[in-house]
Amino acid sequence: MGGPLLLGRIHARGRVEVGQRDAWAETAELVRRIEQGDGGAEVDFIQRYRRGVTVIVARNCRDQSPVEDLCQDVLTTALEKIRSGAVREPDRLSGFVAGLARTVVLEHYRKEGARSAIDARMGAPPQAAPPVALDRLLRQEQAFIARRVLSELDSDRDRQILFRFYIAEDDKERICRDLGLTPLHFNRVLFRARERYRDLYRQWTAAHGGGRRDDSGSRRTLI
Amino acid sequence: MDHDYIEAHDVSSRYVTGRLPDGEERDFEAHLVDCQRCIDAVEAEMSLREGLRTVGSECAPQPFARVVPPTSRATTAYRLLRAAAAVLLAVSVGLGAWLSRSRVELGAARGARAELERRAEQAEQSARTLEKRLAEVPAPANAAPTIARTEPVVPAAVFALTTVRGSSVGANPVNRIRIDGNPKVVVFSLEIPTVPGAGDCEVSLKDRAGRRLWSGTLTSSPSDTLGVAVDRALLPAGDYVLEVSRRSAGRSQVLGRYPFRVDAG
């Protein structure tokens, strides 16, 4: 080896984090290739951002039914903007894509609000389509894994921590005060529950071929 | 935003539960959209949250068919006995729902279900035995002929409630129920903590304003689950809390509070 090699930041568990500047350089290169009409770069772009966009859209949507369509919308719009040279800071492509995802979701609900107002004047809107069997199966599976995690917790108090934090959305401080907990205990319960859920979730997705797949064969998120 | 910061400040959890300030949320999303590790973490958290939400909102209504009108003293007694059997059956089902939801793993849940089915069968058996005994009791001379019965007696709905500490009525309760059909009785299965010492339990139902709508006393039992049957008419859509307390040495000790919301059916 000719000289020193910069690996990035080394973490306690031995992981190596790619430097921010490297990531920026990569995305700038990706933008340049798409601008030059490289079809392979567009595929790379989709593969790189699809899951992240899905998570952001799902997190910002009130329900899951429009998530897939909105993701398509985000990725298509992003590609159009890149092709037309509208991305002014190519090295900040991730920030651009994330911001676009938020904007598309907000715009969707703004339009839906206007449509609801029209529907209210014109008469009842048609009923939403019932959830498909696969969605029901996923919900059942999520509930099953959650139950399993709950059953493995030490006490009813620990189960309450999860419910109050994730469902009732109580503050950590309030939960600790009400249940007489130290912040350390709180963090430990949450950490253990999350790790356990993640393990079971991974097992489940592995057993089901990596989770839901859409038409393009890429993995769909289990949310 | 780097992973040291994200882990130290529990950013992915706070993101999923909407607890990040707007600027921090945008910064995190700019990182998240291109970070497989954080995507994994957020996906798992969102999925866990959905799973918990489903578990928390699950309820198991068990509607029963209509009652045959009583025609004599004997059939009134018979109706009460059947009602008791039906409530016992309903409580068993509620207990089964709760156990299978939060306590045991799938294998254990199957075992519990088998046990509950056995108990339900026993309850049915008891009801049949009681029915047989009643049939042996001579009817009064003026009694109307017994109507052939093909339907269960008490229309009831069964719900398992989760205790919530320190939560006030109406503050987005974990327990939400929807009473479908037209049950006469709503049965709640309540898990109570095991408290040493004997003493009867007092159960009270209060509305959103804290007004006591109903209360009753139950004799102590070694079981850690109570079955409480409440008249459906007491529960129009709204927020309520069931409170279980024990009186000992002149003082009342709250064993559990179960806030719940009845959604319009």
In this prediction, residue A100 carries a pLDDT of 92
Q: Are residues B159 and B171 in the same domain?
A: yes
- Tell me which chain B residues have a C-beta less than 8 angstroms from the C-beta of A146: 48, 51-52, 54-55
A133-220 CATH: 1.10.10.10
- Cα-based angle A76, A78, A83 (whole degrees, multiple of 5): 95
- With a CB cutoff of 8 Å and minimum separation 6, the contacts of A4 are none
Q: Give, as one character, the DSSP assignment of residue A3.
A: S
Contact A56 B29 (CB under 8 A): yes
Q: How is domain A19-122 classified at the architecture level of CATH?
A: Orthogonal Bundle (1.10)
Please name the residue of chain A whose CA is at the shortest distance from the CA of residue B105: A148
List, by residue range, all CATH 1.10.10.10 domains of chain A.
Answer: 133-220
In this prediction, residue A56 carries a pLDDT of 92
Q: How far is A173 from chain B (nearest CA, A)?
A: 13
Which tokens is B235 given?
Answer: 């529960």
Which tokens is B79 given?
Answer: 């109706």
Q: Is residue B56 part of a domain?
A: no
Residue A33 sits at the chain B interface (C-beta within 8 Å): no
CB B245 within 8 A of CB B252: yes
Number of domains in chain B: 3
Closest partner residue to B47 (CB to CB) among A140, A142, A163 is A142
Distance, C-alpha B250 to centroid of its chain: 29
Q: Are residues B35 and B124 in the same domain?
A: no
pLDDT digits (tens, 9 = 90+) for A95-154: 999 999 999 988 888 887 776 666 666 655 555 455 556 667 777 777 888 887 777 777
Full domain range(s) for residue B128: 63-154
How far is A116 from A113, CA to CA, in rounded Å? 5
pLDDT digits (tens, 9 = 90+) for B206-253: 888 888 888 877 765 555 667 777 777 888 888 888 888 877 777 777
Q: Are residues B206 and B144 in the same domain?
A: no
How far is A8 from B17, CA to CA, in rounded Å? 31
Query: Across chain B, which distance is largest between two alpha carbons, in Å?
Result: 88
Contact B33 A160 (CB under 8 A): no
Residue A188 exposed, middle or buried by CB count within 10 Å (0-12, 13-18, 19+): middle
Mean pLDDT, to the nearest integer, of B179-195?
A: 75
Q: Which residues 66-85 of B have a C-beta within 8 angstroms of A? A: none
Q: Count the residues in chain A.
A: 223
**Region of residue A37 (phi > 0: left; psi between -120 and 50: alpha; otherwise: beta):** left
